[in-house]
Chains A and B, each alone.
Chain A
Amino acid sequence: MEELESKIMIEVAKGNLSAFREIVERYQKPLMNFVTKFTGNKSMPEDIAQEVFLRAFKAAKDYRPRAKFKTWLFTIATNYCLNEIRDSKNSPQYIDLFELNEAGFLAIAPDTYSPEKEFEKKELGDILRKAIANLPEKQKIAVLLQKYNGFSYEEISHIMGCSVSAVESLIQRARQNLKRTLSSCL
């Protein structure tokens, strides 16, 4: 798979658009997942994902097969999110406590299906999305890369340019913060 991606990237570096289309189709889901949760859907996640792909296309000449392609792509995404999206949303947003208490009635442990339960689950999911979007940026990136993109702590340390133990601590703190926000539900 990685060897195949290296071959595709050599084509992309030459400006081959159908090779690039393949990259976009392979990676749009994980990238959108990352970007949407990073922004909490406040900015336009598709525009951000599009910009990340555009940057990857322009930087294709610099891609070296010794780096896993997915790690390389998410390094571009992480840098973009950290350096350019930050400015547009510097006012912290807080979870509405009333909303949280409303959702606090539900238990999320697996149970028999009921429409009410599905509705509550959806609400709790929305609150969790907000809580993730409001995490401090580095905690958020570390936890998103781990949870939704399947990166190991070591890979995340390469992407974020920090040590593995720093990643461990970021993820632990992120989860503590999320748990605190959702404390009435967990």
Chain B
Amino acid sequence: MDCNNIRNKLSAYLDDELSFRDREVVEKHLELCPACAREKKSLFLLSSLMDEIAAEDISPFFTEKVISSVKTDSRQTSKHHSLRSALACLGIIVLMLAGAGIFGSHYLNRDERDEYAYLSNFDDFPPDSFSYILIPSLRGKSR
């Protein structure tokens, strides 16, 4: 192996990740090549400097923060579930109302339909109805 090949193996050598055979080859080369030995030394220094910055601070409340985020998340998830069931109920109600509407339009006889026709218009209130009496402007309206 030439110097380039050896240098590409130096990290694995320092991390003890080489096969026994490769390890021997690298060690033999390092004994004979001062340039590669210097390279190994500087990688080793880098590695010990990296060891020095190992620890990081963690707030003493970190565990509690995580646990409460899990609780909040599962509450939100169950809220989603109940919202979904509420929507499903609403859907059923809407379908039932629509069904009733279809029922009404099909099965009420013509006279009954005419009798309730004014209800389809929000502005119309039957004379003498509560709204008709209470909202004077309605009375002025020509019917």
Which A positions have Cβ atoms within 8 angstroms of B? Answer: 15, 17, 20-21, 24-25, 28-29, 32-33, 36-37, 45-46, 49-50, 53-54, 57-58, 108-109, 121, 124-125, 128-129, 132, 146-148, 152-153, 168-169, 171-172, 175, 178-179, 182, 186
Task: List the B side residues contacting A20 at CB < 8 Å.
Answer: 67, 70
In the complex, the answer to whether A125 meets B52 with C-beta atoms within 8 Å is: yes
Given contacts A37-B56, A168-B12, 16 further A-B contacts (CB under 8 A): A21-B63, A28-B58, A33-B54, A49-B62, A53-B70, A121-B52, A124-B49, A128-B49, A147-B47, A148-B54, A153-B15, A172-B8, A175-B46, A179-B43, A182-B46, A186-B49
Main DSSP-derived SS at the B contact region: helix
Compute how far the CA of A179 lies from the CA of B42 in the bound complex, rounded to whole angstroms: 8
Compute how far the CA of A20 lies from the CA of B74 in the bound complex, rounded to whole angstroms: 14
Name the distance in Å between A164's Cβ and chain B's nearest Cβ: 8
Compute how far the CA of A127 lies from the CA of B52 in the bound complex, rounded to whole angstroms: 12
| Interchain Cβ contacts under 8 Å between A and B, 9 examples | A32-B62, A36-B56, A108-B49, A153-B12, A168-B11, A172-B8, A179-B43, A186-B46, A186-B49
Judge whether B32 is part of the interface by a CB distance below 8 angstroms: no
Judge whether B66 is part of the interface by a CB distance below 8 angstroms: yes
Compute how far the CA of A54 lies from the CA of B62 in the bound complex, rounded to whole angstroms: 13
Q: CB within 8 A of A109: which of B15, B43, B45? A: B45
In the complex, the answer to whether A28 meets B71 with C-beta atoms within 8 Å is: no
Judge whether B69 is part of the interface by a CB distance below 8 angstroms: yes
Task: List the A side residues contacting B17 at CB < 8 Å.
Answer: 152-153, 168
In the complex, the answer to whether A46 meets B62 with C-beta atoms within 8 Å is: yes
Q: Lowest 10 CB-CB distances: which A-B pairs, in order?
A: A172-B11, A36-B56, A186-B42, A125-B53, A53-B66, A153-B17, A24-B66, A171-B11, A24-B63, A32-B58
Which B positions have Cβ atoms within 8 angstroms of A? Answer: 8-12, 15, 17, 42-43, 45-56, 58-59, 62-63, 65-67, 69-71, 73-74
In the complex, the answer to whether A175 meets B43 with C-beta atoms within 8 Å is: yes
In the complex, the answer to whether A147 meets B50 with C-beta atoms within 8 Å is: yes
In the complex, the answer to whether A21 meets B67 with C-beta atoms within 8 Å is: yes
Compute how far the CA of A46 lies from the CA of B61 in the bound complex, rounded to whole angstroms: 10
Compute how far the CA of A32 lies from the CA of B65 in the bound complex, rounded to whole angstroms: 14
In the complex, the answer to whether B63 meets A17 with C-beta atoms within 8 Å is: no
Compute how far the CA of A179 lies from the CA of B63 in the bound complex, rounded to whole angstroms: 36
Name the distance in Å between B73's Cβ and chain A's nearest Cβ: 6
In the complex, the answer to whether B49 meets A125 with C-beta atoms within 8 Å is: yes
Compute how far the CA of A126 lies from the CA of B62 in the bound complex, rounded to whole angstroms: 24
In the complex, the answer to whether B43 meets A128 with C-beta atoms within 8 Å is: no
In the complex, the answer to whether B65 meets A33 with C-beta atoms within 8 Å is: no
Task: List the B side residues contacting A124 at CB < 8 Å.
Answer: 49
Task: List the B side residues contacting A186 at CB < 8 Å.
Answer: 42, 45-46, 49
Task: List the B side residues contacting A179 at CB < 8 Å.
Answer: 42-43, 46
Chain B, Cβ-Cβ closest to A168: B12
